[in-house]
Structure 1
Amino acid sequence: MIEYNTKRFLIVDDFTDFRSALTGMLRQMGVAHIDAAVNGEEALALCRKHSYDVILHDYNLGKGKNGQQVLEELHHDKLLSPHCIFIIISAESSQAMVIAALECEPDSYLTKPFNLASLQQRLDKLITLKAVLRPVLEAEARGDYPAVLEACAKVIAAHPRYAPQCRRQQVAALAALGRRQDQERLLQSLVSERPLPWALVALADLSRETGHWDKALALYQDGIRQFPLIPALYDGLAATELARGNLEEAQEYLQQGLRISPNSLQRQQRMGQVAQRNQDHEQAARAFRQAVDLGRNSLFRNPENHLNLAASLTAQAGDGALGHRVVAEIRQTLGELDKTWRDDPALAIRSRLMHARTLDKSGHAAEARRLAEQVATEVAQLESFFDSDAALQVAAQLRDLGQADAADSVLATSVEMYGDDLAVMAEIARHTDNAALLTAGSQALEWNRQAIALYQQKQYAEALQLFRQALASQPRNISFALNTAQTLLRLAGARALPELRDECERCLQQAAAMPINDHRRERYRKLRERLEQL
């Protein structure tokens, strides 16, 4: 018998009558601790103050965050305890809404209306399940994946009926431990025994990630034959075709996924990006428009969607002039971007460049050139810098708007910051044939290559001298700064020399200028932690 009087509940619904009715049901079950919220922001605030055993959250709360967005933020901010049960409730039963709710993986889903008996039956099962899986879930929350595997084995032995839930936890733990072969064997046995949708997706994803594209395609397609309403299968097909360079096929698969579940911000964003690459500007504009709309109350709101929407709307006009309605939409989109991310000077520059392009395409060439000149000056004074993709876009826009010198300056900074990335250099080469610019960092790259080899041979002092030379030659190169810092930490830790720690601090300050979304930021964070521990 479950003791509901010890459980703390949170009800989130914008209708007073429903909150009262649900509170009444819970009181009949013996629940003593019940909090209520009328919107997602209130729910998040309460979750920051209290730990809940059960959250009953309506999906659609009108204006503001919906249930899916609240759940995403709770996971991201680690506000849910391992034992907490999150149930999405909704009066809507459309396929798009139901699948959107299920894609964020709540513990359960309830359709209004429901009665006390059905509510208690659902809660009894979920609370029992969480109690049995408690050691597994707590180990997962700690990031102790060997303990997850051990706890799963014990639960399966003691409670065989919960083996399917434990198998999924085992797959995730093996993935986190990098034990791909064990992960594949377990998934293969599960799929052979019973074709569970999540296992089919995971096995196909693993094949794609390891480069076995034909096998991945076959698995995704087999999954669709059995489970045609699982959007993740279409996402996987699209990702596989993208990896194979088949952009049109990737776009078609994304479109199929969107027909099933159009309310996914990430899926709409991927569709916009692929459609852009396919020069399908009409589809790109539709997708980015949806992404902007879906992102307004989402943790995953992304300014790139606003910029890409403006770019796609402009590109739709081709060589013709932009119409008044299109210009109005672009201005509204850029205005929203400027207001929402007002503290980001690099984004402000990109927005102003897009505005200049809009002016140019709508018959105001002189005004566009004046604005572009102002932006070129601002770019030169920018303390931080763009990520590599944004830098190339900025350079191209500046050149189109008659600012060739400013465009070359942006490309030169990109070579210095990202010159050790061959893919970035290949893209830069598509924007310029300036041999001096493209080879500016070649000597520094060679020093860095030699230094890495010495570091791997544990010749740290010799490696440090070459890393220093590379960084002195290209002081804005992020990888050179991080490599130098890592070597200094190695030597400072062994010799406890304060001058080495001070030099490491300077290197990390140089690397800190990297864009917030740079893939090396996690490495920077770990090096910063190591320095602070010395």
Structure 2
Amino acid sequence: MLAYNQRKFLIVDDFSDFRSSVRSMLRELGVKDVDTADSGELALKMCAQKRYDFVLHDFNLGDGRKNGQHVLEDLMVDKLLSHESVFIMVTAENSQAMVMSALEWEPDAYLTKPFNRAGLAQRLEKLVQRKTLLKPILQALDRGLPNEVLAACTSLTEQDQRYAPLCLRYKADALRDLNQYDALEAFLKTILADRPTPWAYGALGSLLCKRKKYADAKELYERALKAFPMLPALYDGMADVLVALGDTQRAQGVLEDAVRLSPLAVRRQRLLGKLALDNKDFDSASKAYRHAVAQGQHSRFKDPETNLGFAQALISKNGDQGLDARSRLELNQTLGEVAKEHGQDQGLQVRTRLMKATSLKQSDPEMAAKLTQEAMGRLQGMDEFLSADAALAVAAQLQDLGQAEAGAGVLKSCAEIYGDDPVVMQSIASQTDDPAILGANKVAMDLNVQGVRSYKGGKLEEAQVLFRQALGLQPKNISFALNLAQSLLPAKGAAADAAKLEECRACLKMVGKMPDSDPRYERFQKMQIRAFGA
């Protein structure tokens, strides 16, 4: 029997009568600690201040507010809810869009309105039984210790083999977090050989894709989708594989199937918009981006790139005819939102002005020229680096607006910063054939490769010389600077060389200009802590 008097509950619903009704049910069950909230925003603040054992959260809290899915996303990503806690999505609606959307974040249960005390008690008892059984695993997850998760899984299975199926997914996630990819691949294949399981399909497909075994991943996802055609995450995985294989047309079609199943996923709609835009399917791109912008208003996955993608899709869709009245209104709203919410981000200020200038090139060339000049002025004064994708987009827009020299300058800077990435260089080559831009980084890249080889071989002094030479040729290259900084960091417990530590810090200061969306940003942060200390 659940000890209700020792548990803390939070009820989130926009109707006071419902909150009062559920609170009364819980009081009758013996619950003493019951809090309520009428909005997702308030619920998040309360969860940040107090640990709840149970959260009963209504899905729909009214237009213009966070819904249950948004709150669950925030709770999971920000780790405001213990793995031992129970999150129950409460809803009066059961549309496929809502159910599929929230299911992707895996609440512990659904509860459909109306319900009575007996039904609520029965559901709570079953959930707590499962959580109690898995308590050692869940506590290890809260501590972020995958080795302890594995040990807890082994211990539970040894107690009773009937518990083994409950441990499979936790064990797979722990192996993934420990980067034990060979063991994980073998483990997942064993699971699937015994019984086709959707999560195991998804985990193995993701792993194969990560290991660049694209043909194997494609075949696996094809089998998975035949067995489980109603799971959007499997479509996402297949789309990733197809993009890696260069089949963006089919990848778009796969994501369109996923969106039909679960249309409220912001990130999926955004990716679909980008794929369609790259495929020059501007109708589909504008539709997907429109959904992503609307659905992202109260989501943690709201992203100015979505707005910019939507604006680009609208411009491309209307072509030389110029924007119609509706498209002009949408473009102004979506760009205005970015400019207002990101006033301190000079890169975004540059890009919104260039986007607006592009939209006015035919209808108002004078205003387009003014906005272009404003953007170029801000660009020259920028201290931060544009991302590679943003730099490529800015260069293309400048060239389209008659500023070929400025566009070439952006491409040159992009090559200096990201020139070690062959995909970026290929994209740059699609915009220019200037050998001064395309060929300048080859020698530096060779030196960097040699430096990495020396570093791995323990020849630190030699590696530092090579990295310095590479960075001397490409002084803004992020990878070269990170590699040099890492080679200069003192080993743990060793005394620091003052001159080398200062050189390391100078490298990291330059690297700090990268956008925080760069995949190397986490590495930079860890090195910065070591270099600058407390």
Give TM-score scaled by structure 1 length: 0.96
Aligned residue in 1 for 2:254: 253
Which deviations, in whole Å up to 9, do the C-alpha atoms of 1:33-77 show, x marking residues without a partner? 001000011001101110110010111111311111111111221
Match of 1:295 in 2: 296
- Rounded Cα–Cα distance in structure 2 between residues aligned with 1:267 and 1:492: 42
Matches within 5 A, 1:353-372: 353-361=354-362, 363-372=363-372
Kindly indicate whether the alpha-carbon contact (under 8 Å) linking 1:460 and 1:491 is maintained by their aligned counterparts in 2.
Answer: no
Residue 490 of structure 1: how far off its partner (Å): 3.5
Which has the larger displacement, 80-89 or 286-295? Answer: 80-89
Amino acid of the structure 2 residue aligned with 1:118 = G
2:463 is the counterpart of 1:463:
yes
1:485 aligns with 2:458: no
Q: Which residue is 1:4 aligned to?
A: 4
> How do 1:86-101 and structure 2 match up within 5 A?
86-101=87-102
Q: Secondary structure at the residue paired with 2:385?
A: coil
State whether residues 14 and 61 of structure 2, in contact with CA within 8 Å, keep that contact through their aligned partners in structure 1: yes
Shift of 1:492: 9.6
2:518 maps to: 518
- The alpha carbon displacement at 1:99 in A equals 1.0
The 8 Å contact of residues 96 and 262 in structure 1, kept in 2 or not, is answered as yes
Q: Over residues 436-464 of structure 1, what are the superposed CA-to-partner deviations in whole Å (9 max), with x where a residue is unaligned?
A: 12223334333323322222222212222
Match in the other structure for 2:410: 410
Instruction: Report whether the alignment pairs 1:322 with 2:323.
Output: yes
Shift of 1:161: 4.2
Deviation string 1:293-346 (CA, Å, 9 cap, x unpaired) is: 111001111111100100000101123222222111111110111122222111
Whole-Å Cα distance in 2 between the matches of residues 231 and 492 of structure 1?
45
- Partner amino acid, structure 1, of 2:519: H
Q: Distance in 2 between matches of 1:233 and 1:322?
A: 37
Alignment of structure 1 residues 66-465 onto 2, 5 Å: 66-361=67-362, 363-465=363-465
Distance in 1 (alpha carbons) for counterparts of 2:529 and 2:326: 51
Kept in 2: contact 1:65–1:297 (CA 8 A)? yes
Is contact 2:490–2:497 with CA below 8 Å preserved after alignment? no
Paired residues of 1:272 and 1:284 also in contact (CA < 8 A):
yes
Q: Please tell me the residue identity of whatever aligns with 1:376.
A: M
CA distance in 2, matches of 1:105, 1:287: 24
Structure-2 change in CA distance of 1:181 and 1:427 (3 Å): same
Contact kept, 8 Å, 1:57 with 1:67, in 2: the verdict is yes
The 2-side partners of 1:245 and 1:481 are apart by 31
Matched letter for residue 170 of structure 2: Q
Distance across 1 between alignment mates of 2:311 and 2:405:
25
Deviates more, 1:388-397 or 1:449-458: 449-458
Distance of aligned partners of 1:206 and 1:443 in 2 relative to their CA distance in 1, 3 Å threshold? closer
Gaps of 5+ in 1: none
Instruction: Identify if the C-alpha distance between structure 1 residues 491 and 200 changes in structure 2 by more than 3 Å, giving closer, same or farther.
Output: closer
Q: Deviations over 1:381-426 (max 9, x none)?
A: 1111210010010011011111112111111111111112222112
Task: Name structure 2 gaps, 5 residues minimum.
Answer: none
Change (3 A) 1:528 1:223: same
- 1:443/1:234 Cα in 2 relative to 1: closer, same or farther (>3 Å)? closer
CA-CA distance at 1:189 after TM superposition: 3.1
Greater shift, 511-520 or 467-476, is seen at: 467-476
- Equivalent residues of 1:492, 1:501 under 8 A apart: no
Identity %, equivalent residues: 45
Cα distance in 2 between the residues matched to 1:282 and 1:238: 20
After the TM superposition, which of the residue ranges 202-211 and 172-181 deviates more from structure 2? 202-211
Structure 2 CA distance, aligned partners of 1:227 and 1:442? 47
* Matched residue SS, 2:23: helix
Indicate the larger mover: 39-48 or 400-409: 400-409
Letter aligned with residue 219 of structure 1: L
Deviations 1:227-254 (A, max 9, x none): 3211112222222222221122111111
Three-state SS of the structure 1 residue aligned to 2:110 is strand
Which deviates the most, 318-327 or 69-78? 318-327
Query: Which range is displaced more, 43-52 or 429-438?
Result: 429-438
Question: For the residues of structure 1 that align with 2:437 and 2:211, how far apart are their CA atoms?
Answer: 36
- Structure-1 residue corresponding to 2:45: 45
C-alpha offsets along residues 251-290 of structure 1, whole Å, 9 cap, x if unaligned?
Answer: 1111111111101111101111111111100000000010
Separation of aligned partners in 2, 1:61 and 1:297: 12
CA distance in 1, matches of 2:436, 2:192: 56
Separation in structure 1 between the aligned mates of residue 31 and residue 504 of structure 2, nearest angstrom: 56
Give 3-state SS (helix, strand or coil) of 1:318's partner.
Answer: helix
Distance 1:219 1:294, change over 3 A: same
CA contact (8 A) 1:492 1:500 kept: no
The change in CA–CA distance for 1:107 and 1:385 in structure 2 (over 3 A counts) is: same
- Aligned partners of 2:209 and 2:497: how far apart in 1? 47
The question of whether the paired residues in 2 share the 8 Å contact of 1:306 and 1:337 is answered with: yes
3-state SS, counterpart of residue 321 of structure 2: coil
RMSD: 1.8
Q: TM-score, normalised by structure 2?
A: 0.96
SS in 1 for 2:301: coil
User: C-alpha separation between the residues in 2 aligned to 1:160 and 1:440?
Assistant: 62
Judging changes above 3 Å, is the alpha-carbon distance between structure 1 residues 496 and 214 closer, same or farther for their aligned structure 2 residues? closer
How far, CA to CA, are the matches of 2:262 and 2:492 in structure 1? 53
Give per-residue Cα distances to partners, 1:478-509, cap 9 Å, x unaligned.
11221121111137964422222222211111
Q: Secondary structure at the match of 1:34?
A: strand
Q: Helix, strand or coil for the counterpart of 2:530? A: helix
Deviations 1:71-114 (A, max 9, x none): 11112212112311111110001111111111111111111111
Q: In structure 2, how many angstroms separate the alpha carbons of the residues matched to 1:212 and 1:441?
A: 30
Q: Residue 145 of structure 1 contacts residue 176 of structure 1 at CA under 8 Å; is this kept in 2?
A: yes
Contact 1:376 1:403 in 2 (8 A): no
Query: Is the CA contact (8 Å cut-off) linking 2:285 and 2:313 kept in structure 1?
Result: yes
One-letter identity of the residue aligned with 1:517: S
Q: Which range moved further: 340-349 or 309-318? A: 340-349
Question: After the TM superposition, which of the residue ranges 330-339 and 137-146 deviates more from structure 2?
Answer: 137-146
The residue type equivalent to 2:448 in the other structure is: N
SS of 2:87's partner is strand
Tell me the distance in 2 between the aligned counterparts of 1:56 and 1:205. Answer: 32
For the Cα contact (< 8 Å) 1:461–1:491, is it kept in 2?
no
| Aligned partner letter, 2:135 | R
Q: Is the 8 A contact 2:346 2:378 kept in 1?
A: no
In structure 2, how many angstroms separate the alpha carbons of the residues matched to 1:204 and 1:447? Answer: 36
Deviation at 1:214, TM superposition (A): 4.1
